[in-house]
């Protein structure tokens, strides 16, 4: 076993021994808050660790989206006032914000935690009409992903439907139990 594999196995052992504390640390250092979710970020070189993170999120009861690429190699960005150029493909997965607060409680980075709490306070349950659901599924059948469908519904219908809601409609996960079963059977990079 090479040193890199041995190190990953050590990380895995710690993560499984204390999954909630491990995830709290990972989200404190490698997360961001979106409109309806908390995102875990990484790069393709961290693929195994991100798969582990996603697996543990599901294990502790967090509704978790698939591990997907975003951005592109050569993209210029800024973090904490510093400019950087992406040298490898970036990856991320999402976690339901309400689940995040229920199980992991907070993000230690105050700016991100404040955004999370503000977003949750501003959300209320929205009874989506069957016609909106049908439009979203039809758009999905044309090959659009849940992000594009959400954007299209916002532009054409003036409705901001959460990406996770569209994802669950596309994948036929109408309940938490159905979602967990689907997520467990789905490869991490789908």
Domains, the chain:
1-123 (3.10.28.10), 125-190 (no CATH)
3-state secondary structure of 4: helix
Residue 123 confidence (pLDDT): 59
Residue 173 confidence (pLDDT): 60
| Distance between CA atoms of residues 137 and 129, nearest Å | 13
| Distance between CA atoms of residues 120 and 113, nearest Å | 11
Contacts of residue 37, Cβ cutoff 8 Å, sequence gap at least 6: 65, 94, 95, 96, 97, 162, 163, 164
| Cβ–Cβ < 8 Å for 57, 103 | no
Per-residue confidence in pLDDT tens, the chain, 190 aa:
555 666 889 999 999 999 999 999 999 999 999 877 899 999 999 999 999 999 999 999 999 999 999 888 998 888 778 898 989 999 999 999 889 999 999 999 999 999 888 887 765 555 677 888 888 889 989 988 888 888 888 888 877 787 778 877 777 665 555 555 665 676 554 4
């Amino acid at each position: 076993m090479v040193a890199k594999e041995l190190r990953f196995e050590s990380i895995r052992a710690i993560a499984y021994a204390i999954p909630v504390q491990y995830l709290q640390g990972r989200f404190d250092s490698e997360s961001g808050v979106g409109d309806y979710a908390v995102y875990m970020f990484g790069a393709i070189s961290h693929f195994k660790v991100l798969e582990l993170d996603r697996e543990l999120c599901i294990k502790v009861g967090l509704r978790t989206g698939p591990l997907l690429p975003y951005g592109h190699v050569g993209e210029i960005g800024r973090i904490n006032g510093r400019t950087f150029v992406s040298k490898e493909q970036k990856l991320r997965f999402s976690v339901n914000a309400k689940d995040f607060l229920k199980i992991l409680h907070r993000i230690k980075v105050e700016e991100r935690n404040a955004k999370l709490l503000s977003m949750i306070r501003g959300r209320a349950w929205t009874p989506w009409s069957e016609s909106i659901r049908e439009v979203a599924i039809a758009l999905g059948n044309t090959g659009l992903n849940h992000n594009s469908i959400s954007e299209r519904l916002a532009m054409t219908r003036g409705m901001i439907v959460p990406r996770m809601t569209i994802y669950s409609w596309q994948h036929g996960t109408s309940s938490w139990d159905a979602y967990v079963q689907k997520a467990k059977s789905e490869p991490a990079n789908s």
